[in-house]
Amino acid sequence: MDQVILVKHSLIDHSLTILRDKKTKTENFRKHASIVSTVLLLEVMKNLHLTNVPIETPLTKTLGKKLKENIIIVPVLRSGLCMIMGLEGLLPAMNVGFIGLARDEKTAQAHEYYKKLPKIFASHLVLLVDPMLATGGSLDESIQMLEKQGAKHIVIVCIVSAPEGLHYITKKFPHILIYTAAIDKKLNDRKFIVPGLGDFGDRYFGTV
């Protein structure tokens, strides 16, 4: 799957181990979720296009560089919020949209309950973030919403992904890249990722 970028980093390996551990408490879970999310998003953004900008330092005139892309980040609620905490320090000018999808525990199907998106143009880079890519159903719905709003360049960012979900999304949307910190073994009969880390949102927000 050429569309899938598995991000390798020592900090990811260390923090992901802590996230997976069922003994990890909420405070520590939040800390290491932020670390993994930041490393992932930095990897996504390292190849952003730049444009030259003339500036003047205290000593002389010179050329600097400025991000060329206009970026919109869209977390899939609620757990997607966990991945953008603190990101305003890296991208203070970014626009943020929200897509709320609830998964039916019996059917594993996602149902929309909230949507609030900024104006999206073809020139925007849209980062669609969701910590867990399981069946791919939630991301499928989200991608369709974003494309209807005008998105042409969407990149998915996940922490843990299941092979089934990756196969589903890459087959249906061959033009979309997926960045992930881990590709796990499989989905179980309840459509949870194995070995996974449990319910990301519950563990992050302390609602276990």
Q: Which of 13, 107, 190, 207 is catalytic?
A: 107
Which residues lie below 8 Å from residue 73, measured CB to CB, with a gap of 6+?
84, 87, 91, 94, 95, 96, 97, 126, 127, 129
Catalytic, out of 13, 21, 104, 202: 202
Establish whether 21 is a catalytic residue: no
Check 20, 26, 103, 140 and give the catalytic one.
Answer: 103
Q: Catalytic site residue 130?
A: no
Catalytic residue status for 184: no
117-to-73, 83, 130, 150 alpha-carbon distances in Å: 10, 17, 16, 11
Is-contact 101 141, C-beta < 8 A?
A: yes
Q: pLDDT per residue over 136-190, tens digit each?
A: 988 999 999 999 999 999 999 999 999 999 999 999 999 999 999 999 999 999 8
Residues 160 and 184: their CA atoms lie apart, in Å, by 7
Residues 78-96 have a mean pLDDT of 78
* pTM exceeds 0.85: yes
Say whether 30 is catalytic: no
- The phi-psi region of residue 206 (left if phi > 0; otherwise alpha if psi is between -120 and 50; otherwise beta) is left
Reply yes or no on whether the pLDDT at 77 is more than 60: yes
Show the tokens assigned to 158: 């996940």
CATH number of 4-54+62-205: 3.40.50.2020
Catalytic-labelled residue, pool 20, 26, 140, 199:
199
How would residue 23 be classed by pLDDT, with cut points 50, 70 and 90? very high
